[in-house]
Amino acid sequence: MMLHPSAMIDLNTSTFILLLLFSLVFIFFFISKPTGKYGPKSYPLIGSLFSLLQNRHRFIQWTADIVNNSPTKTAIIHLPLGRVRVITANPTVVRHVLKSRFDLYPKGPRARNTLFDLLGDGIINIDGDGWKFQRQISIHEFSTKSLRNYVEHVVDAELNDRLLPILATSTTVLDFQDVLQRFAFDNICKIAFGYDPACLTPSMPDEIFAQAFDEAVMISTGRMRSSHPFIWKLKRFFNFGSEKRLRNSIKIVREFANKLIKEKTIELKRNQSLKSVDLLSRFLISGHSDERFITDMVINFILAGRDTTSAALTWFFWLLHNNPRVEKQILQEIKQKPETSVYDEVKDMVYTHASLCESMRLYPPVAIDAKEAATDERLPDNTFVKKGYPVTYHIYAMGRSEELWGPDWAEFRPERWLEQDMLGRWVFKPRDGYEYPVFQAGPRVCLGKEMAFLQMKRVVAGVLRRFKVVPAVEDGVEPVYVAYFTSVMEGGFPVRIEERDVSLKNVCETSSWRRYGPSSSSLFKPFFSSSHSIGDRSPPPPPSSTDLRRRRPPPPSRSPPPPP
């Protein structure tokens, strides 16, 4: 029997489709093999797309498990269309990338292009001579004593005039993460621009610059997570969706910065002897007049100093509540310190310093950071990297590595940072910067490290002296660590503020500590509806060694990594 020609075409088409499907299944499940040294299962063309999609909501925790279970502490993740990402938690490799072969591992064109619209040629987003130049002039600004004094004044004003009164009058549940972010944003704007956005006021205003900045950062980091850069580039080309919003928010941020720069320039011209100590004035006074350069510089500093300290403090207060022993030690230290000078008070708070380091070990404000290989090279652990590969050092994973911190790595134990001298006093015992790269390490180590510690210790002393910060979450539930550009506590940090007992309060009130007016809870927006509370989050992702989702039990056993 002869078949009709159209039936033959149909038959051919179906045969072709069947053959194609069969080949794909065969490729995926029979001849596929991992192409990396160690990492999740990878298939031709799509790489580890299945695992990536499965773990997209817990990328940091998932990759931390992978590298910490790798024999060399380095893993390779294959992304769709042949892109590759090397991730490491190996201190020798981290030293190699950040210091020994610093020249071979710049930020690279990929990261630079992704963040260029927001950060331009600012210090965070630039390599080579441009970076060196900005680093040199900024180091000078950071090392001056007057800047440190200024920070103390800025921080103290924000603490005494805004943060403490808000806590003192709070009778409802506060989102403490939001409060700390507002605190840090006011601080960094005053330091960078000499401008006070007054985000931390009782009405918790939605300040336009802060909102635009937030949106710009959020969408820019979204670009980094997109499955292929082509997607956001296409959206940018057509000025569509999130890219349209990004363009608008960057416009607001830049116009705002330009306006402030113009005003400051006029102000400085009018009054040459003006003693402005903000970063912007310093740049202008020292002869830098290129508006684009100064705008980039200031935006970069705001990004660097904005959510880092608030992230660190959010997790710190969470851990403190669950570790009353540590809180007691810190209170003791606060009581012993003089309050006459802010700087004297905080510079020697050794136990508090150790507690902050310990908290950032478990919950680093920056979870991962990447460089890009400038040439084909073999890493010290023998992993081969090709020119253009991003090499990511995994700060979060390193803080949870049993090899680096011992079997009790999951415990919040500030004493691991301390030793006692002959008189029984605590002495801080720093860790190698490549084992603990929370502030990065090497030539590009964070410029604001000292400033950040001063600010954080001042806040800790100011708040704890008078208040107890009590998480308003269901018992046994832990918040979730999510990392964008900086990390956040997913859904915020709902707390109730309780006044401390009279004895400690008396200690504080006899000194320079201030009093505030009567409570007026009606002034405050209730931050947290029950639908936002951490306890109500749903559905919880699967547990992992690095999630630390449930409180109390000893370090959970590591979940097996994806098969090699």
Residue ranges binding ligand HEM (CB under 6 A): 123-124, 135, 188, 301, 304-305, 308-309, 312, 365-366, 369, 438-440, 444, 446-448, 451-452
CA distances from 209 to 19, 56, 260, 303, 434 (A): 57, 30, 12, 13, 36
In the complex, minimum distance from the CB of residue 446 to ligand HEM, in angstroms, rounded to a whole number: 3
Q: What is the phi-psi region of residue 14: left when phi exceeds 0, alpha when psi lies from -120 to 50, beta otherwise?
A: alpha
In the complex, minimum distance from the CB of residue 43 to ligand HEM, in angstroms, rounded to a whole number: 31
CA distance 295 to 303: 12
CA distances from 203 to 184, 207, 460, 464, 521 (A): 17, 11, 23, 24, 11
* Cβ-contact 486, 349 below 8 angstroms: no
If the CB atoms of residues 136 and 538 are measured against ligand HEM, the closer one turns out to be 136
Q: Where are the beta strands (DSSP E) in 139-248?
A: 174-175
CA 37 to chain CA centroid, Å, is 29
CA distance 430 to 427: 10
If the CB atoms of residues 143 and 271 are measured against ligand HEM, the closer one turns out to be 143
Question: What is the three-state SS of 427-470?
Answer: EECCCCCCCCCECECHHHCCCCHHHHHHHHHHHHHHHHHHEEEE
Reduced to 3 states (helix: H, G, I; strand: E, B; else coil), residue 378 is: strand
Enclosing H/E stretch for 47? none
If the CB atoms of residues 43 and 453 are measured against ligand HEM, the closer one turns out to be 453
In the complex, minimum distance from the CB of residue 482 to ligand HEM, in angstroms, rounded to a whole number: 16
Question: What is the three-state SS of 71-113?
Answer: CCCEEEEECHHHCEEEEECCHHHHHHHHHHCHHHCCCHHHHHH
Q: Is 116 exposed, middle or buried (0-12, 13-18, 19+ CB in 10 A)?
A: middle
If the CB atoms of residues 93 and 446 are measured against ligand HEM, the closer one turns out to be 446
446 is in an annotated binding site: yes
* Cβ-contact 36, 383 below 8 angstroms: no
What six digits make up the tokens of 157? 């004003």
Sign of CA dihedral 411, 413, 419, 423: negative
If the CB atoms of residues 39 and 433 are measured against ligand HEM, the closer one turns out to be 433
In the complex, minimum distance from the CB of residue 501 to ligand HEM, in angstroms, rounded to a whole number: 30
In the complex, minimum distance from the CB of residue 305 to ligand HEM, in angstroms, rounded to a whole number: 3
In the complex, minimum distance from the CB of residue 253 to ligand HEM, in angstroms, rounded to a whole number: 16
In the complex, minimum distance from the CB of residue 276 to ligand HEM, in angstroms, rounded to a whole number: 17
CA distance 390 to 113: 14
How many residues are given for the chain?
A: 564
Q: Residue type at 136? A: Q
If the CB atoms of residues 342 and 452 are measured against ligand HEM, the closer one turns out to be 452
Rg (CA), the chain: 26
If the CB atoms of residues 73 and 444 are measured against ligand HEM, the closer one turns out to be 444
CA distances from 470 to 175, 331, 359, 402, 437 (A): 11, 16, 17, 30, 30
In the complex, minimum distance from the CB of residue 438 to ligand HEM, in angstroms, rounded to a whole number: 5
Work out the angle between the directed axes of helices 208-225 and 176-193 (0-180°, nearest 10): 100
In our burial notation (b when 16+ CB lie closer than 10 A, e otherwise), range 486-524 reads bbbbebbbbbbbeeeeeebeebbeeeeeeeeeeeeeeeb
If the CB atoms of residues 367 and 472 are measured against ligand HEM, the closer one turns out to be 367
In the complex, minimum distance from the CB of residue 178 to ligand HEM, in angstroms, rounded to a whole number: 18
In the complex, minimum distance from the CB of residue 188 to ligand HEM, in angstroms, rounded to a whole number: 6
If the CB atoms of residues 223 and 444 are measured against ligand HEM, the closer one turns out to be 444
Sign of CA dihedral 91, 97, 102, 106: negative
In the complex, minimum distance from the CB of residue 14 to ligand HEM, in angstroms, rounded to a whole number: 53
If the CB atoms of residues 331 and 370 are measured against ligand HEM, the closer one turns out to be 370
If the CB atoms of residues 122 and 492 are measured against ligand HEM, the closer one turns out to be 122
If the CB atoms of residues 90 and 486 are measured against ligand HEM, the closer one turns out to be 486
**Closest chain position to ligand HEM (CB):** 448
Among 112, 43, 29, 101, residue whose Cα is nearest residue 77: 43
- Binding-site members are 446
Where is the binding site for heme, in residues? Answer: 446
